[in-house]
Amino acid sequence: MPDALLTAERLVRRFARETNLLIAGRTVEVVGESDVADELRALLIRVGARIGRGAVVFAPGSATEIRLDGAALPRRGSADERIDFAGAHMPVSRGIAETLRFAGTVRGTRIGIAMVLEPKTAQLALLLRDAGAEVAVYAHPDEIDPDVAAALRARGIPVDGDPALTGSAEREAAIAFLRRGHDLLLDDGSHLIRLAHEEELVTGLRGAAEETTSGLTPLRLMAEEGLLRIPVIAVNDAPMKTAFDNRYGTGQSCVFAIADVLDTVGIGVRDQPAVVIGYGPVGEGVAAHLRALGAAVSITETDPVRALRAAHDGYETGRLHALAPGALVVSATGAPHTIDPETLRAARIVAVAGGVPGEVDVDVAGLLPVELAGTAHPHLERAGDGALLIARGGCVNLAAAEGNPIEIMDLSFAVQLSAVSQLLGTVLPAGVHAFPPESDEAVARAALAARGESLDVRSDAQLRAQDDWRSPRYRDGAA
């Protein structure tokens, strides 16, 4: 019989898995006074929830152990159901898209979306289409949900990309997408922005928005070398993206996906030695969620400031090759060659959070199947006589789950939609441009309002004081 803590953990992971909703920031009610209920309350608090009366109710041991809005968790099995469910929980993006529609800002604008295609991305495409844009979507072969793609095509939005494409065929599909002719590109990893420059398909592009750290790094290099020929809004650097998407979204979705996969083969995260590589916003979130599930977490970092922050957050820090033996190792760098063959041989388990191609140096042809009920496990293989490798070293929350939680992508896509408005409303020179602080604040205010949170205001005395540059220390003695 599973113990109370494991039962509580499985209930929380089940809620996240079946709804793709966020735990952090949510008010959750837990019914009952059993050991499981007590562990549920403690675990929910550790992952950022508040205990009280809310739309989500856990009632361990009852006929309906998890309720949402007073009923059992809704069916969302088909692609259309998942797309519509996501849309119902994306009020901030919906509000900004409505503003674009009423203003006529995007009417007739050709917008290409090159991102992981799952239900939230489908909603972004639909919101832009409904606001008046001409929208097309591209997704890489390992980042496309075929059912969501089919559902989006049925709703009138063209989708390029196929899971079967490899090598030159994948490149040709991406080039064909660019040749559709776009005014704006919304990119993830800057793969399409860079390809457009390589193939001389930049003519006609008015600008782009980039979603990720790994995508902005090469774009800034291009800008320094005078090669970037269009303006790009650094969506990733907006606090309303990085502070939430990377830390809370990727942290929850990747760690819960890892725990779900390992649970199928009888391995728990609790008391597992775990090493997180990189302590940027993604690493912070991964480490916090691993700690919440009971792992003994260590951090390895090359940046001295981040390493010191990790130490002050209570984590052991050290060198990867010293910490990896026998551990669950999670890469949170978004950089190629992070996990080398030596680490892959020494670690017990290896996974990637976020992720770029080649983040794990592994020969996939040499991976050995791990059987589950007599068949090969869909997300777990062994790297020779070394570590168990989850999702072949790809992004674990996409390969083994449904990506970041809906409310998190609501914030990120709200920033994307605001970036579209900025690109269309302002003439910007070629280069990488910051997302405006006032737009970031507007997204935050909309999110607070949508979630029923309150914002304080400064008093008149505070406002007067902040506008007076003189030192108050010497004011009384002034002549």
**4-72 and 250-399 have identical folds:** yes
Second CATH level (architecture) for the domain 4-72 = 3-Layer(aba) Sandwich (3.40)
357 pLDDT above the threshold of 90: no
- Of 82-86, 164-168, 249-253, minimum mean pLDDT range: 164-168
The predicted model gives 112-125 an average pLDDT of: 97
471 pLDDT above the threshold of 60: yes
pLDDT of 280-300, one tens digit each?
A: 999 999 999 999 999 999 999
pLDDT of the residue at 1: 39
Domain boundaries 79-240+406-450, corresponding CATH code: 3.40.50.1480
| 423-443 core/surface letters (b: 16 or more CB in 10 A; e: else) | bbeeeeebbbbebbeebbebb
Closest CA to 332 of 353, 309, 347: 353
pLDDT of the residue at 356: 83
Q: Under DSSP, is residue 106 helix (H, G, I), strand (E, B) or coil?
A: coil
**What sections of 293-374 are H helices per DSSP?**
304-312, 320-323, 341-346
Mean pLDDT (the chain, rounded): 95
Q: In the CATH scheme, what is the homologous superfamily, with its name and number, of domain 250-399?
A: NAD(P)-binding Rossmann-like Domain (3.40.50.720)
Closest CA to 131 of 97, 159, 80: 97
Reported as a pLDDT band with limits 50, 70 and 90, residue 478 is: low
476 pLDDT above the threshold of 70: no
Judging by beta carbons within 10 Å of its beta carbon (0-12, 13-18, 19+), is residue 398 exposed, middle or buried? buried
What residue ranges do the domains of the chain occupy?
A: 4-72, 79-240+406-450, 250-399
Tokens matching residue 269 = 């995260």
pLDDT of 196-226, one tens digit each?
A: 999 999 999 999 999 998 899 999 999 999 9
Interior CA angle at 305 toward 304 and 310, to 5°? 95
